[in-house]
A = this chain, B = another copy of it.
Amino acid sequence: MAHTNYNCNPGCPVEAALEVIGGKWKGVILYHLLSETMRFNELRRVMPEVTQRMLTKQLRELEADNLIARKVYPEVPPKVEYSMTEYGKTLTPVIHSLQQWGSRHLEEVAQRVADR
């Protein structure tokens, strides 16, 4: 999925943004973390279809992009908290518009199915 060149044309920023938030579960993760800091297993509970491996991977990628922060508490059993960074919070309007459109889209699709 990685591009090498984003200076191709003015549409590329769109791809750049999608590359950062377009991972299979990143949208939902960001949505949840924008409303509150959460622990690893709390995230698992709100999205039970995601495997642990996938969740870990997506979280690490978001962390590498500086969108979320990972805080480990040296306890046993382990406690790890995930939260949005200040930079990550700049995604608020993006996630919000995706959620708005997505809601309407789900209704639209349900309608199309009903009309069938």
A interface list, Cβ under 8 A from B? 1, 3, 5-6, 8-18, 20-22, 24-25, 27-28, 30-32, 46-49, 87, 90-91, 93-95, 97-106, 108
| B residues near A47, Cβ cutoff 8 Å | 8-9, 11
- Residue from A1, A93, A99 whose CB has the most chain B CB atoms within 10 Å: A99
Interface of A is mostly: helix
* 8 nearest A-B residue pairs (beta carbon): A13-B102, A17-B102, A11-B31, A14-B27, A11-B28, A16-B102, A17-B98, A22-B22
- Known contacts A24-B1, A87-B108, A97-B97; decide if A103 and B8 are in contact (CB<8 Å): no
